[in-house]
Amino acid sequence: MAALAGKGEPKREVERMKRECGMLLPVASLPSKYGIGAFSKEAYRFVDKLAEAGQQYWQILPLGPTGYGDSPYQSFSAFAGNPYFIDPETLVEDGLLTQEECDGADFGEEERDIDYGRLYKNRFPLLKKAFLRWKNRQKRLGEDGIRMFLEHSLSPETREYCFYMAVKNDFAGKSWVEWDEDIRLRDVVAMELYRQRLDEEIQFYEFQQYQFERQWGQLKRYANRKGIRILGDIPIYVAFDGADAWAHPELFQFDEDGHPEAVAGCPPDAFSATGQLWGNPLYRWEYHEKTGFDWWMRRMEYCFRLYDTVRVDHFRGFDEYWSIPFGDKTAERGHWEKGPGLSLFQAMEKRFGHLDIIAEDLGFLTPSVRKLVQDTGFPGMKVLEFAFDDTEDSDYLPHKYDENCVVYTGTHDNDTLQSWYGSLEPELRQFTVNYLGNPWTPRGEVHWDFIRLALQSKARLAVIPVQDYLGLGNWARINEPSTLGKNWRWRMKEEDLTPELLKKCRKLAKWYGRAAKKVQAEEKQKPLKE
């Protein structure tokens, strides 16, 4: 990223970028016999398949620990990883679990589905066994030595999460707003008493984070050696029920008792007459600016340890955000407030230099939002499904793209291509036929036409969800916004990505100039056949 444009400065020229492509698959959706995708041998094999398919990116969803509703966008901390992703078989290799203990845990029999209830009930007892054996192995260090080892292995913010979860468990899983007043308001004496009494439980959570960072670091390094970059994702907001809100109330629009003055959401629109009430705490941006955006600097530092590239969700919230009075049942009475704008990203550039960020700039965009994205130089997002849900005026139609953007057939919030196409009104479906010139494409193959459209576009990066490459229906959808109980559950099977499919992906990446140099060279002399 070149220097960000300041007020009154001319727009910078976007440097010419190479064309690349990748696949979107949440870690949770990887195959595994332990109920959910993890940093397991299946993850390493998926990386191998990405490289074989000529891809350069693996896009995932946020890696944070999830709570009620299982959404990765409502995490208990912005500085912690999901313990569900710790691979049990790696712990077996480390001598911390037995294969019999892993095989004996009940995670459900359905290969395509994640049963979060079973995971919650059975994953933590398994991890607890591993922790106790690990601790026994370290007994030569003594309690102080073990405590010091974990302290030096994790960031202060990650350790705040571990303390938070230990106290939360002590209060039967209740959010911090329902704790006793002394610990809720972080009284110094109470904090020390809880630390002493819950020392072992805190260590258990620190052990989880140590294993998470260790296993993920190994997988990420393997991916990077294979030429695969990790495209991560961070929500703009944090959860109210989380360590960040409890440990740093000064960062948020809270009153003296820790209750929100206002919460986040989106205004009413064509899709929702009452808007969207997310309920996340809103930032006290004037405080952040006074501290030089210190918390955000630490957050981005943590993110770029996990990811090579970061997609920032709800980017327009940095320009303006929808503020809803706390206690309202809908988002209707909200109003727009100014966010930090360019100053936050100028502070980031001053601190870190170039940051590989993608701005999630979907939805209704005002001129000021467009200017913010332009001034940062970050690539924005284009979604093909949005292009054909509208008319010829849509900004998501590929002939309107510039190079500095990322194109998707759909995101984790969209229906699969096959299901979306089947649900189109006849006139809109005819519009897609006219635009693509594909009246003879069989219905079951139409997803390939949209994939080609994305890959051949001018966008610097094209990311295709794995479900779209597989041509799957609505049952494989990751998330349907504003619904509960059926989201974040779909899983891929090991045999889904066949050698034939990977070969086709590789050829398409090569034909449209998106394959890695090595792949381009290997494919150069081959005939142009699928």
Q: What tens-digit pLDDT sequence spans the chain (530 residues)?
A: 344 544 444 344 444 468 999 999 999 999 999 999 999 999 999 999 999 999 999 999 999 999 888 999 999 999 999 999 999 999 999 999 999 999 999 998 889 999 999 999 999 999 999 999 999 998 888 888 888 899 999 999 999 999 999 999 999 999 999 999 999 999 999 999 999 999 999 999 999 999 999 999 999 999 999 999 999 999 999 999 999 999 999 999 999 888 999 999 999 876 678 988 999 999 999 999 999 999 999 999 999 999 999 999 999 999 999 999 999 999 999 999 999 999 999 999 999 998 999 999 987 789 999 999 999 999 999 999 999 876 678 889 999 999 999 999 999 999 999 999 999 999 999 999 999 999 999 999 999 999 999 999 999 999 999 999 999 999 999 999 878 888 999 999 999 999 999 999 999 999 999 997 777 666 665 655 54
pLDDT at 109: 84
- Return the half-sphere exposure (C-beta side, CA atoms, 13 A cut-off) of residue 215: 27
pLDDT at 15: 44
Dihedrals phi, psi of 332, to nearest 5 degrees: -65, -35
pLDDT at 526: 63
Which pair of tokens denotes residue 304?
A: 């770029």
With CA atoms as reference, report the closest residue to 48 among 217, 225, 305. Answer: 225
Determine the Cα–Cα distance for residues 277 and 260; give it in Å rounded to an integer. Answer: 14
Residue with tokens 């990765």, as numbered in its chain: 72
pLDDT at 147: 86
To the nearest 10 degrees (0 to 180), the angle between helices 342-352 and 367-376 is 10
- Domain ranges, ordered by start, for the chain: 379-469
The neighbour count for residue 403, using CB atoms within 10 Å, is 15
The neighbour count for residue 112, using CB atoms within 10 Å, is 13
Q: What is the pTM assigned to this prediction?
A: 0.93
Determine the Cα–Cα distance for residues 20 and 379; give it in Å rounded to an integer. Answer: 13
Q: What is the DSSP letter of 331?
A: S
Determine the Cα–Cα distance for residues 21 and 58; give it in Å rounded to an integer. Answer: 9
3-state secondary structure of 186: coil
pLDDT at 327: 93
Phi-psi label, residue 279: left if phi above 0, alpha if psi -120 to 50, beta otherwise: left
Determine the Cα–Cα distance for residues 18 and 166; give it in Å rounded to an integer. Answer: 47
Residue 359, CA distances (Å) to 60, 317, 464, 497 in order: 15, 11, 17, 29
3-state secondary structure of 324: strand
3-state secondary structure of 325: strand
CB 433 within 8 A of CB 440: no
The residues that are catalytic are: 313, 360, 413
pLDDT at 189: 98
Residue type, 301: E
